[in-house]
Structure 1
């Protein structure tokens, strides 16, 4: 995604966020078809992924998957559930306090790690099993963001997510 020039009116609007975000939950997928493991902290390795996650070493642009805490109630409501646990949605990091879509194409610090938002994290067909019929569509537009890890570092629960200036 090409961002507008930083000195343009749209560029200034897109660069202005209400506040830093915060890590609410961290999970790892150690193997295919096993439940996610909730952890308090994880090492993010540049160009590789999260240590202990089955996708570590794969596509660099999807080193970390993030989802907004504020979207969990919407996904639950749209899929007919009272609530949805973060592990059900199989994203690595749940963050609150800022719109993840604003991080696409931007660099940000998540704990000690430097990340760059690469693309929206679309739901997969597994959401039909996880959430029931219509689960895929319940997540559309709420699937979060994929990010590449540019500098290694530790990410901890309650760490700040701070967007860097362009």
Structure 2
């Protein structure tokens, strides 16, 4: 049986982009209670709809695209490798709120994900590294993070999330006629 996307006149890039059968896992949650202070790893956090994570110092505007930040858990080892570190980088050092494994986060831009039973995030864009990575990781930290900085998201539906929760991709709603 041929691969369903090749040789099939009905196949499109859109079909391939929507084929994401994986289920991920929330590996780590971090809050920044005070600006420029170390991240605080927590077992659970409450996401406030269209706001931020409760207990995080960041106060983005409603409708903002950077209400929460995510990083690919698998990239922690890659960044460490680029810096010749013996173990994966602790996610708190990278200043992201959530570390997710099992899903290619970059494939989720402009998609929605559900974390646990309650929280729904809309992935809004890339979270590029900043000069703080040189401070935190040492010389080369910025370049080690390039392409591995993670993503930003908007909180569509708030609620409680816990480390270990499953992360599922929400179905893409059908396109409206004429759009």
TM-score under structure 1 length normalisation? 0.91
After the TM superposition, list the runs of 4 or more consecutive aligned residues in structure 1 that deviate by more than 4 angstroms: none
Q: Whose helix fraction is larger, Structure 1's or Structure 2's? A: 1
- 1:52-131 alignment, distance < 5 Å: 52-58=55-61, 60-83=64-87, 84-111=89-116, 112-131=118-137
What do the CA deviations read for 1:18-63 (whole angstroms, capped 9, x no partner)? 4111000100011112111010110101111100111134472111
Matched with 1:20 is 23
Stretches of structure 1 that go unaligned for 5 or more consecutive residues are 1-6
What do the CA deviations read for 1:88-107 (whole angstroms, capped 9, x no partner)? 11110001001000111001
What do the CA deviations read for 1:56-98 (whole angstroms, capped 9, x no partner)? 3447211110001110010011122122111111110001001
C-alpha separation between the residues in 2 aligned to 1:48 and 1:57? Answer: 6
Stretches of structure 2 that go unaligned for 5 or more consecutive residues are 1-9, 173-179
TM-score under structure 2 length normalisation? 0.85
C-alpha separation between the residues in 2 aligned to 1:56 and 1:147? Answer: 14
What do the CA deviations read for 1:87-138 (whole angstroms, capped 9, x no partner)? 1111100010010001110011112111100001111110001111110110
C-alpha separation between the residues in 2 aligned to 1:28 and 1:34? Answer: 10
Q: Whose strand fraction is larger, Structure 1's or Structure 2's? A: 1
In the alignment, does 2:149 pair up with 1:143? yes
C-alpha separation between the residues in 2 aligned to 1:57 and 1:9? Answer: 37
**142-151 or 16-25, which deviates more:** 16-25
